[in-house]
């Protein structure tokens, strides 16, 4: 690996014909429940309003997205993890976000991120030992109450920008240091958590303060406001947001209330505010603001995420600040939870060291003199630049990097849900036709920014707008020799209503309306490669990366561009399958025959069949997921065995009942039983996938390969003169003899080998096959009396064991097995010696006996019913054995009359 300066990308195949690779990030577009999708429903002519996507608040599925659906149907489509440990967060219960998502996309690796770093620093105690804590908190002025410590940040447990537990830890740490007075400046969330949850967090904070406060320790809430209206702007989108924050936190200017709880309740009564939109709030005590910031005070901004912390940090630390008039600029000791911009060294003091992200894709490509392009609107411009480049401002080499920012609208995004998708597409297509780059990335902010508004209808439009732009770029890709990688950075628009964690059903408020959800989701995100046909070689998705995440995308981009993937990157999602050049007659014939397989089916039908198969696999996966069915989650290969056998029997029974002219009812039943067999195939495959053994695609690939290999007369030019079924059987045997397993030279070549291949048969049939093989090699009874004698002998041995005073259950089991195997010998002997008994099937015989018993019992119940005494359980228990025998005889006579 080496260090950054010494590492160079190695190009193993040159770029040809101005070939380009463009990554499109559909921000906030998670992929979940694809079966309830309006676009696929419309293609199947099932109407335009599928109830599920609208009723569950899935704006992605409710939007009309023909271009996205076209991509989803591609062979190079899969989903990726975009939350939790896949992007460096503490656990898989943590939602992903745009910051960590773009870090992973651009760096090709997983780095411990904000919350995880802070948690570790707090648990180890290193945060309180660090230089920043000592300089900002461990001060005599704070201990003698001549100065105040101010803590400002987002009050929630969303774990995207901050966590309330971090605030509690800082308060306790400061108290332990001897700090006497703390003032809190709380920004209300309603975005990474529910839109109307502020009161829950305020009450939790106030209860905490009641326990911590004492005559010698004074910690109170001084100011507040909603995060999107106060303090937390980003990318210099709207400095007035930061100005309002400065005025309320520093100067104590804003609407006055006696407590934060009172403020939120009154403001909601006056106007239907969501938490994130609440105006500036100042808490007064004795007619004065509780916590203005003065010279000599200490101030910690405890958000760990950088994008919305940079501007307020600048306003509180820059001497020559010009974004807005500050009125007064107190000299304070300032620290951030983390350093929010490493290049600008902002802030100079920080409590936790941010992840050191080096050797990002942009950096390596710039050193390799590869032209790159990045574009988005203001709201996400920093994500395709700063975060993509490893939390680094500026460019690595301006000669090879072209960045274009489209200014965002300065109004609520739900009022313009299309945002700047058209303008971003315009600029991108222009650069594609100009061949100005080789590797590019763009971001459509709509799904995330409009999704955060909680406006379902607007979010549906926002996703449709992205799809429209996507279609334009797809068309341009075909004309400009461009490969597209379409992905998302996390979910949001796919879950706009609160869902119960256990039932996954929508939660309703007291008015009967769905509770809105404005935070990100835990959904996987789509990933697809489009227009790969322009490559000189075939590629396919790897099937050994079921848990792949966003960090795998960088290596995929580099491999598509012809570079050797760095060994320190997460592995590529693709593998090369060889040249596309076809120069063999066999290959041409295979292609022709594969086309003939669907010659009477149009694309829509083939897509429909593929879609159903994918949906069924998704259904089985959900049954086995942590939140799935308790029964299905516990199943193993061993526990499923009896169900597989049962379904096989029921399918055979359904076949036997068909007859020459089966009724629609019998055909439907047969269809249902075949479905049950398919269920077992998928369920076993999902168990295998969960155990990281194989997946359903391997099952299909193996059987497809076997069928093609076993039928050279269909799929290849062959010298075999195949005219009838017997010719095919002879050919099969010849092919099977040549298909020796790799370890065949170590196998013990037993004389029973042929019979052992039948192990998968039902037990009685397997026993018959063993008997058949034993007879063929001479190890069996040769006459009927000998065979009968063996059966009687085994029965007597069983009787002896059962009548023994000291019963040995293991011996009884053994003897029962011997009786059954002796019957297998009898059945096989009859089959071998009687031509009219060649069809004998021991398993079906036993089954038939069971059916006979059932039918005989039905007849007995009829007899009792005719006598006016229905045969229920209570009546049955009163019948003597002689009466039962009499009923049995009567039923038997009816059967043969």
Could you give the residue numbers annotated as active site?
A: 98
Q: How far apart are CA 520 and CA 150, in angstroms?
A: 29
**Sequence-ordered list of residues with C-beta below 8 angstroms from that of 625, at least 6 positions apart, any chain:** 633
Question: Measuring CA to CA, which residue among 519, 432, 551, 444 is closest to residue 484?
Answer: 432
Give the end-to-end CA distance of the chain in Å, rounded to a whole number.
88
Q: What are phi and psi of 491, to 5 degrees?
A: -90, 160
State the DSSP H helix or E strand holding residue 169, giving kind and residue range, or none if neither.
helix 164-177
Joined together, the tokens standing for residue 866 give 């005719």
Angle between helices 310-317 and 239-246 (to 10 degrees): 50
| Beta-strand pair 482-487/20-26 | parallel
CB-based contacts of 397: which residues, under 8 Å, 6+ apart?
366, 367
Pairing of strands 537-541, 574-579: antiparallel
809-833 and 784-803 helices cross at what angle (nearest 10)? 170
- Cα separation, 201 vs 163, whole angstroms: 11
Phi, psi of 284 (to 5 degrees): -105, 150
- Residue 445 has φ and ψ, to the nearest 5°, of -80, -10
Q: How far apart are CA 81 and CA 71, in angstroms?
A: 18
Q: Sheet of 525-530: strands edge to edge?
A: 77-80, 525-530, 482-487, 20-26, 439-444, 372-377, 401-406
The dihedral through the CA atoms of 53, 59, 63, 66 has a sign that is negative
Before 812, cis peptide (omega within 30)? no
Tokens standing for residue 755: 């019979």
| CA–CA separation, 331 and 566 (whole Å) | 47
Question: Rounded to an integer, what distance in angstroms lies between the CA atom of residue 104 and that of residue 355?
Answer: 12
* Residue 599: partners with Cβ closer than 8 Å, 6 or more residues away: none
DSSP helix/strand/coil, 304: coil
b vs e for 170-187, b when ≥16 Cβ sit within 10 Å of the residue's Cβ? bbebbbebebbbbbbbbb
Please check whether residue 58 is in contact with residue 496, taking contact to mean a CB–CB distance below 8 angstroms: yes
From the list 673, 669, 668, the residue with the least C-alpha distance to 647 is 673
User: What is the three-class DSSP state of 423?
Assistant: helix
**Beta strands of 178-238 (E only): which ranges?**
181-188, 218-226
Q: In whole angstroms, what is the distance from residue 273 CA to residue 196 CA? A: 9
DSSP annotation string for 769-780:
HHHHHHHHTT-S
Cβ–Cβ under 8 Å, residues 446 and 462: yes
Q: Report helix, strand and coil shares of the chain as percent, to nearest 5.
A: 50, 15, 40
What is the β-pairing status of strands 525-530 and 77-80? Answer: antiparallel
Instruction: State the angle between helix axes of 164-177 and 198-212 in degrees (0 to 180), rounded to the nearest 10.
Output: 20
Joined tokens for residue 890:
């009567």
Using CA atoms, how far residue 809 sits from 295, 764, 803, 806, in Å, is: 89, 22, 12, 10
How far apart are the C-alpha atoms of 358 and 341, rounded to whole Å?
A: 14
């Amino acid at each position: 690996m080496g260090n950054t300066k010494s590492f160079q990308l190695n190009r193993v195949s040159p770029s040809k014909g101005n070939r380009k690779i463009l990554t499109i990030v559909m921000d906030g577009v998670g992929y979940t429940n694809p079966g309830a999708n309006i676009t696929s429903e419309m293609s199947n002519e099932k109407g335009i309003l599928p109830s599920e996507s609208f009723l569950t608040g899935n704006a992605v599925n409710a939007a009309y997205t023909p271009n996205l659906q076209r991509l989803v149907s591609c062979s190079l489509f899969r989903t990726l993890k975009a939350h939790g440990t896949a992007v460096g967060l503490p656990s898989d219960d943590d939602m992903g976000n745009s910051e960590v998502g773009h870090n992973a996309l651009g760096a090709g690796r997983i780095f411990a991120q904000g919350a995880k770093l802070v948690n570790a620093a707090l648990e180890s105690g290193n945060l309180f030992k660090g230089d920043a804590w000592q300089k900002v908190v461990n001060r005599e002025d704070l201990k003698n109450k001549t100065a105040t410590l101010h803590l400002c940040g987002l009050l929630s447990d969303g774990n995207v920008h901050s966590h309330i537990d971090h605030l509690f830890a800082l308060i306790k740490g400061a108290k332990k240091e001897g700090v006497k007075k703390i003032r809190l400046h709380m920004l209300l969330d309603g975005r990474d958590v529910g839109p109307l949850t502020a009161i829950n967090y305020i009450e939790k904070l106030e209860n905490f303060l009641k326990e911590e406060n004492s005559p010698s320790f004074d910690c109170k809430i001084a100011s507040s406001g909603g995060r999107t209206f106060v303090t937390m702007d980003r990318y210099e989108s709207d400095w007035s947001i930061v100005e309002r924050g400065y005025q309320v936190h520093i100067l104590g200017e804003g609407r006055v209330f006696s407590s934060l709880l009172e403020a939120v309740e009154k403001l909601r009564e006056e106007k239907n505010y969501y938490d994130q939109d609440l105006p500036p709030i100042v808490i007064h005590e004795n007619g004065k603001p509780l916590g203005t910031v003065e010279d000599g005070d200490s101030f910690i901004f405890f958000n760990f995420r950088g994008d919305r912390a940079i501007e307020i940090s600048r306003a509180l630390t820059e001497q020559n600040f010009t974004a807005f008039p500050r009125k007064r600029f107190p000299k304070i000791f300032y620290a951030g939870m983390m350093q929010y911009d490493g290049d600008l060294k902002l802030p100079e003091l920080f409590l936790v060291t941010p992840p050191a992200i080096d050797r990002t894709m942009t950096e390596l490509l710039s050193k390799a003199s590869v032209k790159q392009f990045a574009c988005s609107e203001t709201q996400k411009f920093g994500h395709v630049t700063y975060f993509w480049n490893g939390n680094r401002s500026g460019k690595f080499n301006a000669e090879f990097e072209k960045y274009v920012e489209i200014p965002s609208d300065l109004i609520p995004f739900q009022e313009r849900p299309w945002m700047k998708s058209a303008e971003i597409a315009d600029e991108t297509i222009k650069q594609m036709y100009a061949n100005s780059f080789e590797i590019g990335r763009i971001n459509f902010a709509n799904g995330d920014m409009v999704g955060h508004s909680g406006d379902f209808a607007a979010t549906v439009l926002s996703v449709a707008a992205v799809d429209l732009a996507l279609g334009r770029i797809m068309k341009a890709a075909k004309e400009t020799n461009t490969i597209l990688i379409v992905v998302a950075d996390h979910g949001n628009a796919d879950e706009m209503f609160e869902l119960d964690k256990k039932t996954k059903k929508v939660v309703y408020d007291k008015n009967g309306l769905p509770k809105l959800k404005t935070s990100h989701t835990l959904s996987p995100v789509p990933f697809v490669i489009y227009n790969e046909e322009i490559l000189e070689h075939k590629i396919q998705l790897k099937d050994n990366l079921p848990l792949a995440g966003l960090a795998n995308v960088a290596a995929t981009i580099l491999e598509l561009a012809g570079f050797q993937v760095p060994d320190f990157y997460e592995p590529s999602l693709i593998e090369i399958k060889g040249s596309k050049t076809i120069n063999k007659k066999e290959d041409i014939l295979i292609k022709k025959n594969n086309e003939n397989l669907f010659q009477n089916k149009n694309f829509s039908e083939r897509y429909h069949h593929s879609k159903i198969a994918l949906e069924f696999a998704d259904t089985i996966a959900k049954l086995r997921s942590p939140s799935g069915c308790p029964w299905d989650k516990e199943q193993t290969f061993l526990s499923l065995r009896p169900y597989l056998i049962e379904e096989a029997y029921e399918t055979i029974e359904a076949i036997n009942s068909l007859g020459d002219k089966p009724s629609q009812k019998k055909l439907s039943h047969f269809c249902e039983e075949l479905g049950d067999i398919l269920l077992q195939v998928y369920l076993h495959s999902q168990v295998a996938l969960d155990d990281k053994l194989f997946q359903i695609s391997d099952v299909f690939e193996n059987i497809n390969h076997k069928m093609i290999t076993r039928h050279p007369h269909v799929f290849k030019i062959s010298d075999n003169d195949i005219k009838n079924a017997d010719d095919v059987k002879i050919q099969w045997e010849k092919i099977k003899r040549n298909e020796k397993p790799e370890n065949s030279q170590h196998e013990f070549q037993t004389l029973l080998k042929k019979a052992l291949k039948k192990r998968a048969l039902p037990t009685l049939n397997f026993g018959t096959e063993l008997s058949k093989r034993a007879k063929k090699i001479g190890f069996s009874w040769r006459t009927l009396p000998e065979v009968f004698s063996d059966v009687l002998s085994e029965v007597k041995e069983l009787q002896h064991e059962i009548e023994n005073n000291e019963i040995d259950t293991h011996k009884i089991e053994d003897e029962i097995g011997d009786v059954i195997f002796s019957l297998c010998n009898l059945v096989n002997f009859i089959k071998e010696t009687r031509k009219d008994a060649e069809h004998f099937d021991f398993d079906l015989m036993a089954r038939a006996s069971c059916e006979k018993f059932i039918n005989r019992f039905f007849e007995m119940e009829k007899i009792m019913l005719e006598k006016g005494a229905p045969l229920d359980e209570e009546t049955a228990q009163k019948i003597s054995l002689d009466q039962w025998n009499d009923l049995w005889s009567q039923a038997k006579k009816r059967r043969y009359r």
